């Protein structure tokens, strides 16, 4: 039983690492525009050829468990990817302080030049346009029906949690 569980764990890790390698290769070669769609497809379809190799020796149940674990790891990675890929003021501050080590950095020096529209909202805005959540017309941004639905759901969820409306500060 233990070796079966080890096989499931190692196969799941192999599936996930293979998908991750495909993801890195594609990003290096193509730099896709709609990254979350591409990444989801890679994580869903990437393990299938490798899984076919193991299906006969391990059996359907163990391969199914490994695939389930792969999908869990993939879901976590998808959730974290937006944090890694996007601009983070907190990470920027950490990098800025790290650059000044071992001397340190005075607090007033934390207002770096990269706190600008491009870094703080540009990439997010471009992503929302690319995914069809918003559209730009005449210099104004407009919510699409899909964007309105998503925004409404998140606003409702934030209100249920007792969190403030982000757009209102």
End of a domain among 98, 113, 128? 113
Q: What is the pLDDT of residues 84-96, one digit of tens each?
A: 676 667 777 777 7
List the domain range (segments joined by +) for residue 139. Answer: 116-169
Pair 44, 95 in one domain: no
Q: Is the pLDDT of residue 155 over 60?
A: yes
Average pLDDT over residues 72-86: 81
Pair 81, 136 in one domain: no
Closest by CA to 65, choosing from 78, 77, 53, 51, is 51
Overall domain count for the chain: 3
CB contact burial 146-167 (16+ within 10 A = b; e otherwise): ebeeeeeeeeeeeeeeeeeeee
Pair 16, 78 in one domain: yes
Please state the pTM of the whole predicted model: 0.57
Pair 129, 149 in one domain: yes
What pLDDT is attached to residue 166? 65
Q: What is the pLDDT of residues 19-67, one digit of tens each?
A: 999 998 998 898 787 888 898 999 988 888 877 777 767 778 888 888 8
Q: What is the pLDDT of residues 80-135, one digit of tens each?
A: 887 667 666 777 777 777 888 888 878 777 766 666 777 767 777 887 888 888 88
Pair 69, 17 in one domain: yes
Pair 32, 68 in one domain: yes
Q: Is the pLDDT of residue 74 over 90?
A: yes
What pLDDT is attached to residue 81? 80
Pair 13, 80 in one domain: yes
Pair 81, 9 in one domain: yes
Pair 50, 98 in one domain: no
Pair 26, 61 in one domain: yes
Pair 42, 66 in one domain: yes
Q: Are 74 and 18 in contact (CB under 8 A)?
A: no
Residue 80: is it exposed, middle or buried by C-beta count within 10 angstroms (0-12/13-18/19+)? Answer: exposed
Helix (H) or strand (E) holding 137: strand 134-137
Q: Is the pLDDT of residue 73 over 90?
A: yes
Pair 72, 122 in one domain: no
């Amino acid at each position: 039983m233990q070796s079966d569980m080890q096989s499931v764990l190692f196969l799941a890790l192999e599936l996930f690492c293979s998908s991750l390698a495909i993801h890195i290769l594609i990003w290096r070669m193509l730099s896709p525009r709609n990254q979350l769609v591409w990444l989801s497809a890679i994580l869903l379809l990437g393990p299938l050829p490798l899984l076919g190799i193991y299906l006969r020796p391990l059996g359907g149940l163990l391969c199914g468990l490994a695939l389930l674990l792969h999908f869990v790891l993939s879901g976590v990675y998808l959730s974290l990817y937006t944090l890694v890929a996007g601009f983070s003021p907190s990470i920027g501050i950490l990098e800025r302080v790290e650059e000044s080590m071992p001397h340190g950095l005075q607090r007033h020096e934390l207002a770096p030049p990269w706190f600008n529209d491009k870094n703080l909202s540009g990439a997010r805005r471009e992503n929302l346009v690319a995914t069809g959540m918003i559209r730009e017309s005449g210099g104004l941004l407009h919510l699409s029906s899909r964007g309105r639905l998503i925004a409404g759901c998140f606003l409702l969820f934030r209100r249920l949690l007792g969190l403030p409306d982000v757009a209102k500060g």
